[in-house]
């Protein structure tokens, strides 16, 4: 009898965020120092297999658009790495400067997602 292990379930994290007043009050030099510190702290997270997918400014003139100004999309190979990513972002001090809403979970194809929606009670 052969035992099959389940493949890790890839996780996606979508961050939606706005700058807080603490960020707005910083000089360009202070902002650069914070980015340097955050970048250094993310190296260990990226080594776990986290993939930065996309970052940008939210398009403001789309129907049902998000209220936040910026977004980031990350992919993690499994739930524990996703947890490490979220913890790493928090430990970097990010949330001191940006009000963030996280959306995360395992991605499925359209057919499976429609099944998820159909099963909602």
Phi/psi zone of residue 46: left (φ > 0), alpha (ψ -120 to 50 degrees), beta? alpha
For the stretch 30-69, pLDDT in tens is 999 999 988 888 888 999 999 999 999 999 888 998 999 9
Domain-wise residue ranges, the chain: 11-118
Distance CA 15, CA 9 (A): 19
State which CATH number among 3.30.70.20, 3.30.70.1030, 1.10.10.10, 3.40.50.970 fits the domain covering 11-118.
3.30.70.1030
Nearest to 104, CA basis, from 120, 69, 80: 80
For the stretch 101-120, pLDDT in tens is 999 999 889 999 999 999 99
Task: Return the bridge partners of 103, or none.
Answer: 14
Distance CA 65, CA 31 (A): 28
pTM (predicted TM-score): 0.87
């Amino acid at each position: 009898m052969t035992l099959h292990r389940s493949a890790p379930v890839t996780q996606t994290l979508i961050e939606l965020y706005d700058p807080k007043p603490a960020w707005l009050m910083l000089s360009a030099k202070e902002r650069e120092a914070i980015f340097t510190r955050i970048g250094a702290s993310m190296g260990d997270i990226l080594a776990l297999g986290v993939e930065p997918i996309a970052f940008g400014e939210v398009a403001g003139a789309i129907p049902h658009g998000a209220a936040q100004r910026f977004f980031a999309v990350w992919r993690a190979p499994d739930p524990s790495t996703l947890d490490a990513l979220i913890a790493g972002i928090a430990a970097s001090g990010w949330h001191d400067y940006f009000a963030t809403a996280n959306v995360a979970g395992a991605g499925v194809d359209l057919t499976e997602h429609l099944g998820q929606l159909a099963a909602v009670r």
